[in-house]
């Protein structure tokens, strides 16, 4: 999907996806506030901050603090960093309760709550299976059935237990993966830092996860246009104005493996241990990025398991809004939850 911000005709960032396009755009109004942007790599992607300020010096200090907060979260929540807190508890918390940081406990609590609501469609214990499919994307070879079966034995959200700010795992070899929720939380936290430093008119974007603060000067909100990529240039299928909200998109357009003529998504079905083969893009609009991020992944899985209608029910029950673009019979079709 294509995510970009446009000001007076200039694209300021772009993440290409094929299934859906989300475009945040605005026109700089004739006011004193200056639009300031910054970009840094974190969590395996690029984080972008855009804010409006009448004091550029203080604004850059706030942006630095926001990026530093994201970097801290990366050190805690990443499964790629060998000594991250997340990876440490995968060893230390087997069979015993281990105290964890506020951030990790917050994200794991939200993850487990969503796992229950989605009947396991969202499951952060899928790390062993996800690692198999990462290797498959590199080697272009499918994981063996025995490998998948062995990895699945180490998964299941019921094997992860949260106590009074503690975590316990049932089995040696379990691996947690927060890739489907951590960036949304990080976007929330970056936006919180900017607010606390006096810059509420801001946007924090982490690839397909966007957290919006107050509306830009002179506008009612950040304009979000949604359209299928095959219709690019033909006008937006849906235009929304968002402020104090978050939007996340999940799909197979950036990370996938095409093996023996079949396209496998990086999103794994926890019931089967295989990458999704259904071409689908799910956008969720919620109050917080931690919610929209996890819901968009869970809904993608449910689309493959039970269909689009069931995915939209999950989103609506969470008090969020969903837009699903799916390939059906060689055609792209759009479905969405009712306007709230």
Task: Return d(Cα 99, Cα 278) in angstroms, integer.
Answer: 39
% of the chain exceeding 70 in pLDDT:
83
Q: With contact defined as beta carbons under 8 Å apart, do 94 and 171 qualify?
A: yes
Task: Return d(Cα 268, Cα 263) in angstroms, integer.
Answer: 13
Model pLDDT for residues 265-322, shown as the tens digit of each residue: 778 899 999 888 778 889 999 999 999 999 999 999 999 889 999 999 999 999 999 9
Which pair of tokens denotes residue 35? 């639009």
Q: pTM of the predicted model, to two decimals?
A: 0.87
Tell me how far apart the terminal alpha carbons of the chain are, to the nearest angstrom.
Answer: 25
Closest CA to 176 of 162, 186, 190: 162
Model pLDDT for residues 82-133, shown as the tens digit of each residue: 999 999 999 999 999 999 999 999 999 999 999 999 999 999 999 999 999 8
Confidence grade of residue 225 (pLDDT, cut at 50, 70, 90): low
Task: Return d(Cα 313, Cα 337) in angstroms, integer.
Answer: 8
Closest CA to 125 of 97, 104, 105, 153: 153
Residue 125 DSSP label: T
Task: Return d(Cα 334, Cα 323) in angstroms, integer.
Answer: 7
Task: Please give the full DSSP string across 211-253, using - where no structure is assigned.
Answer: EE-SPPTTSSSEEEEEE-GGGTTS--SEEEEESSEEEEEEESS
Task: Return d(Cα 34, Cα 59) in angstroms, integer.
Answer: 10
Task: Return d(Cα 273, Cα 133) in angstroms, integer.
Answer: 9
Specify the pLDDT at position 33: 86
Residue 159 DSSP label: G
Specify the pLDDT at position 32: 67
Helices 127-139 and 145-152, axial angle in degrees (round to 10): 150
Residue with tokens 């706030």: 62
How many Cβ atoms are within 10 Å of 129's Cβ, its own excluded? 27
């Amino acid at each position: 999907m294509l995510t970009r911000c446009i000001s007076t005709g200039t694209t300021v960032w772009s993440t290409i996806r094929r299934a859906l396009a989300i475009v945040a755009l605005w026109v700089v109004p004739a006011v004193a506030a200056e639009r300031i942007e910054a970009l840094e790599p974190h969590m395996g992607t690029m984080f972008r901050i855009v804010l409006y300020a009448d004091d550029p010096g203080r604004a850059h200090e706030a942006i630095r603090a926001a990026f530093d907060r994201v970097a801290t979260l990366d050190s805690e929540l990443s499964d790629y960093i060998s000594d991250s807190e997340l990876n440490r508890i995968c060893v230390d918390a087997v069979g015993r309760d281990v105290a964890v940081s506020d951030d990790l406990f917050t994200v794991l609590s939200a993850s487990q709550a969503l796992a229950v609501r989605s009947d396991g469609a969202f499951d952060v214990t899928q790390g062993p299976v996800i690692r198999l499919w990462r290797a498959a994307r590199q080697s272009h070879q499918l994981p063996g059935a025995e490998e998948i079966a062995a990895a699945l034995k180490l998964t299941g959200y019921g094997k992860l237990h949260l106590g009074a700010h503690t975590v316990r795992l049932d089995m040696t070899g379990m691996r947690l993966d927060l890739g489907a929720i951590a960036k949304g939380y990080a976007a929330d936290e970056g936006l919180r830092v900017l607010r606390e430093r006096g810059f509420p008119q801001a946007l924090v974007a982490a690839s397909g996860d966007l957290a919006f603060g107050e509306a830009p000067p002179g506008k009612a909100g950040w304009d979000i246009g949604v359209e299928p990529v095959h219709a690019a240039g033909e006008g937006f299928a849906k235009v929304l104005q968002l402020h104090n909200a978050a939007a996340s998109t999940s799909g197979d357009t950036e990370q996938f493996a095409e093996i023996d003529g079949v396209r496998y998504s990086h999103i794994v079905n926890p019931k089967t241990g295989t990458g999704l083969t259904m071409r689908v893009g799910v956008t969720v609009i919620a109050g917080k990025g931690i919610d929209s991020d996890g819901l968009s992944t869970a809904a993608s899985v449910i689309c493959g398991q039970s269909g689009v209608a069931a995915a939209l029910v999950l989103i609506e029950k969470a008090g969020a809004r969903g837009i699903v673009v799916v390939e059906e019979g060689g055609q792209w079709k759009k479905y969405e939850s009712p306007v709230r």
